[in-house]
Structure 1
Amino acid sequence: MNQVQKLLIIGFVWPEPNSSAAGGRMMQLISLFKAQGFSVTFASPAQNSDFMVDLGVYEVDKKSIELNNSSFDIFVKELNPAVVLFDRFMMEEQFGWRVVENCPDALRILDTEDLHCLRLARQKAFKENRSFSTTDLFVEEVAKREIASILRCDLSLMISEFEMELLESTFKIDKALLYYLPFLLEPIISSEIEELPSFENRKDFIFIGNFLHEPNWNAVQYLKETIWPLIKKQVPEAVLNVYGAYPSQKVIQLNNGKDSFLIMGRASNAQDVVTEARVVLAPLRFGAGIKGKLLEAMQCGTPSVTTTIGSESMHGDLPWNGFITDDVADFVDAAVQLYLDKTIWVKAQKNGIEIVNQRYSKGLFETDFSTKIEFLRSNFEQHRLSNFMGAMLQHHTLKSTKYMSRWIEEKNK
């Protein structure tokens, strides 16, 4: 009888699909591997949170692990996973060398989520009031760590074609180490479209996003100070509901009933509030990856107005689910048009549904991903031989990180 293959996921945090797109993404990956017949263990050094998903419901084993503690070595050796998935490069840095030592034949996969170095370099350029250039990445401290982590792994899952291209052209990463795997959604069928609330049955503008994420906080400030007063001038009855997990005191202080700028905090069901809204506003000025909030808007049949950064890598050659502009006056006009003009709104909604079905349908990726994993597992020795830079980094990391970690462990005793 075939032994069940084991997947170990090492999570930066416990998944919170209702708090962030990253949590939803993680649940999609779990479902993908379970469909391939893997038994899944999710381990994390993070504290439990009130909003984390109950992994037991999904038949996933939950395991708390410690940083800089050799108890992990015993755990991983006993589990003996066929595949280890690192949730973001920080987890590969912490635990990758231990996996290499104790389970050398396990396939090591990195889920990048978004390129952290790209997001941070863009943020820095924005704060310094200058244009971002790819050369900024070479001085970004995080880039050195993140690229090293990508090279040490057998495969890195990329959510954005733009970032994949960037890694190949700017950092000269071998294509064989990268795999495009965006958000994986169920296609939207016509009966579901018919059930969506109509233009007339929706009201208000909405912004939604986790406030632990700096681009979201910046976008809300931008809305409050610049964009919303101009929309309100043209549509006096308009209301903007700002939803998001983990709002800080400075976010809550932006609430202003007189201006109909309402800070709503965490949505108990994000899809419900987005489906009830008429237009999503997402004036993101820096960031990376693909935006869960904008994909969710498409799934809910809610048109959106966003920026070039907001829409990056999301729609290919297909027309957007609304409007894309970096100009304030154009952004305001686009928002007002979508809010008041049913014809434009309906066309935008159709565009969004088209994008979901043509670019994010789970069925487009499942088989190919399964084939890729099988191929790498059967040919991992050859695959690693071709990745000399990765082997070299692994060699030095194993030495330096290992002794640093051992030193911390001794100190902690």
Structure 2
Amino acid sequence: MSQPTTKVLVIGYVWPEPRSSAASGHVMQILETFLQQGWDITFSSPAGVGEHKADLAALGVRECAIELNNSSFDTFIRELAPDIVLFDQFMMEEQFGWRVEKHCPDALRVLETSDLQSLRHARHQRLKDRLKASADENDFSDLFAPALREEFELMASTDLAKREIAALYRCDLNLMISPVEIELLVEQFKLPRDLLHLCPLMPALPTAVHRPFEDRAHFLSIGNFRHAPNWDAVLWMKTAVWPLIRQQLPGAQLHLYGAYTPPKATALHNPAQGFHVMNWAEDALQVMSAARICLAPLRFGAGIKGKLIDAMLCGTPNVTTPIGAEGMSDGLPWPGVIGESAEAIAAAAVALYQDKALWTEAQNRGDRLLAAQYLQSVHGPALIQRLQACLRDLAERRRDNFTGAMLRHHAHKSTQYMAQWIEAKNRIVGSDVSESRG
């Protein structure tokens, strides 16, 4: 007798746009892993549809728009009766977790984090403080080497960390993209390791031969402009890194691609300086494959960086910071150079751009790193096995996670009452508007 198909509901913070952000790309890789199992998948989101949204229906994934603070979701999830509910980012667990627990108490609740947002925000604040304290735009090595305890101390007093860590506890399993973030949560926040599962980016590896050194030109930087670390990197390139590169390579050209390019970014476009703001790339891998060097001078951030995975996929050496490379190599040689100052990044970029032997070795390192760390054939089955084990042992997992049960009891009650109050208020306002129009 065949087993019933596992039903999965994904509650997305946004509709996936895999060509716009690595976070959406990761969600799509997880969906593809589920589809390979023949699982029945419904993707829902309260967000508006973006201009680069993936065609989920073409993949066999049902799409359903949902509303915040609306009891229509209760009927929807009761009728769907999923076995697994995947929250895409912790804010969706905050909004919908109590409804899932109330109407589908036996569904496995899983949180897909993309990155640890409270870590990213704390690092951003540290950068802001550093910029206020010093006008030095060059050396940021003091930002790049904090111990996990220092990261914890930065985060622990923030409301965002308290909200995010509470959501991790309330879920049955949390998908973490970076091993560094797992160690931070376990060693400093004392989260049980059993609540966490490493699920990195799982790209499809290329089958074509990489374009050689001679067939490439220019520097490239890519990333969604709405993502604060990307925008900060653009500003640092403009003011400090790129001028140093142009001093050594006067004819050098930098092409910057990113989704949702704001006017403040297009205002930086300056062909005379070789600084080209190119807007959105229809095919990120195509433009990455044509570039000789990928620049990613990230001064803050969290998770692992999709742009650097893309660079490896395309055989494009990169120059980044310790923040950019964090959690990605597990001690393997880096496919490029990691620098901590504008001068170090510029010098490395120029050397890689001009030295074919150095460049080719960096390209080969990227291939080795992808094969060692990011195979879908390894991480996809591991994810399925972990989810199935959690489903089998769900009662025991919840019994052993008393802190999570306690947080759900208190937080979900307050969230439930607030949501019900907002829904009632909206009904009253809607009724008053209808009567006034009548």
For residue 122 of structure 1, give the secondary structure of its aligned residue in structure 2. Answer: helix
- The yes-or-no answer on 1:407 pairing with 2:421 is yes
| Aligned equivalents of 1:269, 1:171: Cα separation in 2 | 40
- Residue aligning to 1:18: 19
- Residue aligning to 1:28: 29
Shift of 1:108: 0.3
Q: 2:190 aligns with which of 152, 172, 187?
A: 172
Q: 1:183 aligns with which of 201, 206, 209?
A: 201
| Aligned equivalents of 1:96, 1:141: Cα separation in 2 | 19
Q: Give the partner amino acid of 2:119.
A: L
- The yes-or-no answer on 1:270 pairing with 2:284 is yes
Q: 2:163 aligns with which of 136, 140, 145?
A: 145
Change (3 A) 1:49 1:186: closer
Structure 2: gaps of 5 or more residues: 134-142, 428-438
| Deviations, residues 293-338 of structure 1 (Å, cap 9, x unaligned) | 0110000000000000000001111101110011221111100011
- The yes-or-no answer on 1:353 pairing with 2:362 is no
For residue 273 of structure 2, give the secondary structure of its aligned residue in structure 1. Answer: coil
| Aligned equivalents of 2:156, 2:380: Cα separation in 1 | 35
| Aligned equivalents of 1:410, 1:366: Cα separation in 2 | 43
Shift of 1:188: 4.5
For residue 276 of structure 2, give the secondary structure of its aligned residue in structure 1. Answer: strand
Shift of 1:223: 0.4
- The yes-or-no answer on 1:305 pairing with 2:305 is no
| Aligned equivalents of 1:71, 1:276: Cα separation in 2 | 49
Verify the 8 A CA contact 1:247 1:265 in the aligned structure 2.
yes
- Residue aligning to 1:390: 404
For residue 285 of structure 1, give the secondary structure of its aligned residue in structure 2. Answer: coil
TM-score, with length taken from structure 1: 0.97
- The yes-or-no answer on 1:198 pairing with 2:216 is no
Verify the 8 A CA contact 2:293 2:352 in the aligned structure 1.
yes
- Residue aligning to 2:88: 87
Within a 5 Å distance, the mapping from 1:32-181 to structure 2 comes to 32-129=33-130, 131=143, 133-134=150-151, 135-181=153-199
Q: Give the partner amino acid of 1:367.
A: P
Q: Give the partner amino acid of 1:224.
A: K
Q: Give the partner amino acid of 2:11.
A: I
Shift of 1:343: 0.3
| Aligned equivalents of 2:421, 2:356: Cα separation in 1 | 65
| Deviations, residues 388-411 of structure 1 (Å, cap 9, x unaligned) | 000000101221000000000000
Structure 1: gaps of 5 or more residues: none
| Aligned equivalents of 2:309, 2:397: Cα separation in 1 | 34
| Segments ≥4 residues shifted beyond 6 Å | none
- Residue aligning to 1:339: 353
- The yes-or-no answer on 1:253 pairing with 2:267 is yes
| Aligned equivalents of 2:379, 2:226: Cα separation in 1 | 30
| Aligned equivalents of 1:182, 1:10: Cα separation in 2 | 20
| Aligned equivalents of 2:183, 2:160: Cα separation in 1 | 19
| Aligned equivalents of 2:84, 2:258: Cα separation in 1 | 34
Q: Give the partner amino acid of 1:345.
A: W
| Aligned equivalents of 2:183, 2:37: Cα separation in 1 | 28
| Aligned equivalents of 2:237, 2:405: Cα separation in 1 | 47
Verify the 8 A CA contact 1:188 1:353 in the aligned structure 2.
no
Within a 5 Å distance, the mapping from 1:195-234 to structure 2 comes to 195-234=209-248
| Aligned equivalents of 1:122, 1:108: Cα separation in 2 | 29
Verify the 8 A CA contact 1:290 1:314 in the aligned structure 2.
yes
Q: Percent of aligned pairs with the same residue?
A: 47
Q: 1:329 aligns with which of 338, 343, 350?
A: 343
| Aligned equivalents of 1:293, 1:185: Cα separation in 2 | 12
Q: Give the partner amino acid of 1:369.
A: L
For residue 215 of structure 2, give the secondary structure of its aligned residue in structure 1. Answer: coil
For residue 48 of structure 2, give the secondary structure of its aligned residue in structure 1. Answer: coil
| Aligned equivalents of 1:108, 1:95: Cα separation in 2 | 11
Verify the 8 A CA contact 1:188 1:356 in the aligned structure 2.
no
| Aligned equivalents of 1:119, 1:394: Cα separation in 2 | 25
| Deviations, residues 201-223 of structure 1 (Å, cap 9, x unaligned) | 00000000000000000000000
- Residue aligning to 2:432: none
Shift of 1:37: 2.4
For residue 213 of structure 2, give the secondary structure of its aligned residue in structure 1. Answer: coil
Shift of 1:142: 0.5
| Aligned equivalents of 1:290, 1:173: Cα separation in 2 | 21
Verify the 8 A CA contact 1:188 1:357 in the aligned structure 2.
no
Q: Give the partner amino acid of 2:107.
A: A
For residue 319 of structure 2, give the secondary structure of its aligned residue in structure 1. Answer: strand
When structure 1 is superposed on structure 2, of 236-245 and 370-379 the one drifting more is: 370-379
Q: 2:307 aligns with which of 293, 296, 299?
A: 293
Verify the 8 A CA contact 2:205 2:313 in the aligned structure 1.
no
| Aligned equivalents of 1:369, 1:261: Cα separation in 2 | 42
| Aligned equivalents of 1:198, 1:371: Cα separation in 2 | 39
Q: Give the partner amino acid of 2:227.
A: H
| Aligned equivalents of 1:91, 1:105: Cα separation in 2 | 18
